[in-house]
């Protein structure tokens, strides 16, 4: 089956990843749409405005970004010893998870933000056992700040940096200050630019009112389709088995792996919290969860003794991608 093939054919798996993404994204390429950008984050609005006349290009850029992010997740997992084997399964799981919602096909802001979040997490994990980690601290703050310029709720992850320092490193106050400086740098340039063009009120409205207050945000307006219920059910089943595997990994892991696993758990928590400041309550805005979930779920798929069950859950997840595309 597919999981077994990925386990035992690492060299061939790298060819399978783009093929899998193409198959999952066929609908997106044939039915490209243009996302709404009325109150989007500044850099996202600037990027989309230049390519709005070319919906296919939006899908192509999103396709390339998700593939690159999948490869980056694999690199992070191997480089930081999060999973004790070399495999492309985390990349494949991430590709499937980021294909669950058709909104991702049109260059959703989280697609862009995820790239910077992955870079920030990698910088944090690279601080392990370094005498000083000033550059990594600055870069982590800088990448999260850049992510917020494409998707404003990304700013909640700044707390992840300082939690990461507590988990991974001894307390060095300069690193905390430097990470804050990295966070401020893009934001200062942004505020200065809007001040220069005399549009600070526009920035205030888009960031504070539309994002934090968000007039369209209401649990009463929250509704799920039949396909959404199927996906949620499969994901909850996968999460249940992945949680059991996580506690096993946590108990057997090295000090470094344990710290990185805990950091991934906090990333999961902040991914859920980010929905509070999302423009609206909807499943696509939970796509930050694809990063930690791809790590936890792939660990379960790799090491479970009930391989048939793992294959079945993963197959159902893939099928739900097509159900959501053609039934909604």
Q: Which residue has the tokens 């790298």?
A: 14
- Range of lowest pLDDT (7-21, 100-114, 304-318): 7-21
Looking at residue 214, its pLDDT comes to 57
Q: What pLDDT, on a 0 to 100 scale, did the predictor assign at position 73? A: 95
Does residue 164 lie within any of the structural domains? Answer: no
Q: Which of 324, 255, 268 is nearest to 295 (CA)?
A: 268
- Is the per-residue pLDDT at 38 higher than 60? no
C-alpha to C-alpha distance for 160 and 222, rounded to whole angstroms? 28
Residue 216 has pLDDT above 60, yes or no: no
Domain residues for the domain of 121 are 2-127+224-327
Residue 264 lies in a domain: yes
Q: What is the pLDDT of residue 26?
A: 81
Q: Give me the chain's average pLDDT, please.
A: 84
pLDDT tens, position by position, 172-207: 889 999 999 999 998 888 888 777 877 777 776 666
Is pLDDT above 80 for 30? Answer: no
Q: Are 203 and 40 in contact (CB under 8 A)?
A: no
Residue 127 confidence (pLDDT) above 70: yes
- 226-275: pLDDT as tens digits: 778 888 899 999 999 888 888 777 777 677 788 888 999 999 999 999 88
Q: Is residue 36 part of a domain?
A: yes
Tell me what pLDDT residue 208 has: 66
Q: For 91-114, what is each residue's pLDDT tens digit? A: 999 999 999 888 888 888 999 999
Whether 120 is in a domain gets the answer: yes
Evaluate whether residue 159 is within a structural domain. no
Q: How far is the CA of 207 from the CAs of 38, 57, 210, in angstroms? A: 12, 27, 6
- Asked if residue 155 belongs to a domain, the reply is no
Per-residue model confidence as pLDDT tens digits over 150-168:
988 898 999 999 999 999 8
Cα separation of 99 and 171, whole Å?
A: 40
Sign of the torsion formed by the C-alpha atoms of 48, 50, 55 and 56: negative
The span from the CA of 324 to the CA of 159, in Å, is 34
Say yes or no to pLDDT of 213 above 70: no
Confidence class for position 212, pLDDT limits 50, 70, 90:
low
Distance CA 40, CA 57 (A): 19
* Higher per-residue confidence, 92 vs 50: 92
Res 277: pLDDT = 79
| Per-residue model confidence (pLDDT) at position 135 | 92
Chain position carrying tokens 């990063």: 291
For 89, 194, 205, 291, 305, the CA distances from 75, given in Å and listed in that order, are 11, 37, 39, 13, 26
Per-residue pLDDT of 266-309, as tens digits, reads 999 999 998 887 777 778 888 899 999 999 999 898 888 888 89
User: What's the mean pLDDT in 200-229?
Assistant: 67
Kindly state whether residue 38 falls inside one of the protein's structural domains: yes
Q: Which two tokens stand for residue 156?
A: 């909640």
Helix (H) or strand (E) holding 2: helix 2-8
Report, as an integer, the average pLDDT of 103-128.
91
Domain count of the chain?
1
In this prediction, residue 285 carries a pLDDT of 82
Q: Does a structural domain hold residue 148?
A: no
């Amino acid at each position: 089956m597919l999981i077994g093939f990925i386990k035992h054919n690492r060299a061939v798996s790298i060819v399978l990843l783009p093929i899998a993404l193409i198959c999952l994204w066929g609908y997106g390429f044939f039915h490209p749409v243009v996302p709404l950008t009325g109150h989007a984050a500044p850099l996202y609005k600037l990027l989309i405005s230049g390519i709005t006349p070319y919906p296919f290009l939006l899908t192509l850029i999103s396709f390339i970004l998700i593939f690159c992010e999948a490869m980056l997740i694999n690199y992070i997992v191997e480089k930081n010893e999060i999973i004790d084997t070399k495999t492309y399964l985390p990349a494949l799981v991430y590709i499937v998870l980021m294909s669950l919602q058709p909104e991702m096909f049109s260059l959703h802001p989280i697609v862009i933000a995820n790239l910077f979040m992955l870079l920030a997490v990698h910088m944090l994990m690279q601080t392990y056992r370094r005498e000083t980690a000033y550059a990594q601290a600055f870069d982590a703050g800088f990448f999260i700040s850049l992510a917020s310029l494409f998707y404003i709720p990304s700013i909640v992850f700044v707390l992840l940096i300082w939690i990461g320092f507590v988990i991974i490193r001894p307390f060095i106050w300069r690193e905390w200050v430097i990470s804050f400086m990295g966070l401020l740098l893009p934001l200062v340039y942004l505020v200065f630019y809007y001040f220069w063009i005399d549009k600070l009120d526009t920035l205030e409205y888009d960031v504070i009112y539309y994002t934090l207050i968000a007039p369209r945000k209401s649990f009463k307006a929250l509704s799920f389709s039949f396909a959404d219920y199927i996906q949620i059910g499969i994901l909850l089943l996968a999460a249940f088995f992945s949680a059991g595997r996580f506690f096993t990994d946590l108990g057997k892991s090295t000090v470094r792996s344990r710290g990185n696993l805990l950091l991934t758990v906090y990333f999961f928590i902040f991914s859920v919290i980010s929905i509070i400041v999302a423009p609206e309550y909807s499943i696509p805005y939970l796509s930050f969860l694809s990063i930690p979930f791809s790590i936890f779920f792939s660990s379960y798929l790799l090491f479970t003794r009930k391989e048939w069950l793992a294959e079945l859950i993963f197959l159902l997840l893939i099928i739900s991608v097509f159900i959501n595309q053609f039934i909604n």
